[in-house]
């Protein structure tokens, strides 16, 4: 049992009373899925308000948005658990969940990029955009591979990990900014950009996510290639064997 599975079981044990309450109330998994999307939309609105109305040295909006993102991520666990425990799993429900998850991530990254661009964190906004590409491609390669018959869940930067990285780093950045009450900055003469500033608490994890998400997508592509070639080889061998058996039957 790995750490991720242990973490999931711990969360499931904590949310089981909520799941039972939702079942009694007649709340469906699709309702929870839509709530998760709405919360990500709310997080984006917080990012945009922070970009337009907060001072560049005040990153508390990032913290508020990060907290909302973490709650939205929890909804992503609740809807699946609710479907299993309530025995309401369906193919359309799985499709609805996957589609809204992609919309949720795209909307979330829109808010992040908007905030970073508005406050002139250009390089960080590029990292966020690359992270968005990687996040979508991680999901797409798995979906496409599974459509071809390959179970492609390899790689470490899956959706729960991405949500935790963004949400926790955002909360830390906003929290420290609120506590300190001013911009933290470390400059050196020989380097064109600050070695550290408050936004670094948020931007560095996004950079790490950008790298690892795209590496995960590439890893899944390579894994799928190996599995598909193996499947094609087995099919070819089976056809060859069947052809040989038919020839033997005709000979006898």
Domain count, the chain: 1
pLDDT band at 2 (very low <50, low <70, confident <90, very high): low
pLDDT, one tens digit per residue, over 129-176 is 999 999 999 999 999 999 999 998 888 888 889 999 999 999 999 999
pLDDT, one tens digit per residue, over 174-218 is 999 988 877 888 777 777 777 789 999 999 999 999 999 999 999
Q: Give the per-residue pLDDT at 245.
A: 77
What is the chain's mean pLDDT, rounded?
Answer: 91
In a domain, 243, yes or no: no
Compute the average pLDDT of residues 70-95. 92
Q: Give the per-residue pLDDT at 1.
A: 45
In a domain, 247, yes or no: no
pLDDT band at 250 (very low <50, low <70, confident <90, very high): low
In a domain, 98, yes or no: yes
Task: Judge whether 19 and 78 are in contact, CB under 8 Å.
Answer: yes
Q: How many CB atoms lie within 10 A of CB 216?
A: 23
Q: Which residues are CB-contacts of 52 (< 8 A; sequence separation ≥ 6)?
A: 118
CATH code for position 23:
1.20.120.1760
Q: Give the per-residue pLDDT at 197.
A: 92
Q: Return d(Cα 102, Cα 72) in angstroms, integer.
A: 13
In a domain, 235, yes or no: no
- Pick the closest to residue 117 from 56, 34, 73 (CA basis): 56
In a domain, 48, yes or no: yes
- Residue 172 belongs to domain spanning: 3-230
In a domain, 147, yes or no: yes
pLDDT, one tens digit per residue, over 96-106 is 999 999 999 99
pLDDT, one tens digit per residue, over 49-80 is 999 999 888 999 999 999 999 999 999 999 99
In a domain, 55, yes or no: yes
In a domain, 76, yes or no: yes
């Amino acid at each position: 049992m790995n750490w991720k599975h242990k973490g999931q079981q711990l969360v499931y044990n904590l949310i089981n009373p909520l799941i039972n309450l939702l079942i009694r109330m007649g709340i469906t998994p699709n309702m929870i899925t839509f709530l998760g999307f709405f919360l990500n939309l709310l997080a984006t609105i917080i990012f945009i308000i922070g970009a337009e109305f907060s001072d560049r040295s005040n990153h508390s909006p990032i913290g508020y948005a990060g907290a909302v993102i973490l709650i939205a991520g929890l909804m992503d666990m609740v809807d699946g658990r609710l479907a299993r425990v309530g025995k309401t799993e369906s193919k359309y429900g799985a499709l609805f969940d996957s589609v809204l998850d992609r919309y949720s991530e795209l909307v979330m990254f829109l808010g992040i990029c908007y905030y970073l661009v508005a406050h002139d964190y250009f390089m960080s906004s590029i990292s966020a955009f690359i992270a968005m590409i990687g996040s979508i491609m991680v999901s797409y390669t798995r979906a496409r591979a599974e459509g071809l018959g390959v179970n492609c869940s390899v790689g470490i930067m899956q959706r729960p990990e991405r949500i935790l990285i963004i949400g926790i780093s955002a909360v830390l950045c906003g929290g420290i900014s609120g506590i300190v009450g001013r911009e933290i900055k470390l400059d050196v003469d020989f380097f064109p950009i600050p070695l550290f500033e408050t936004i670094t608490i948020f931007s560095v994890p996004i950079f790490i996510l950008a790298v690892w998400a795209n590496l995960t997508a590439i890893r899944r592509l390579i894994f799928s290639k190996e599995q598909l070639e193996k499947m094609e080889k087995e099919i070819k061998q089976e056809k060859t064997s069947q052809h040989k058996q038919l020839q033997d039957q005709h000979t006898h």
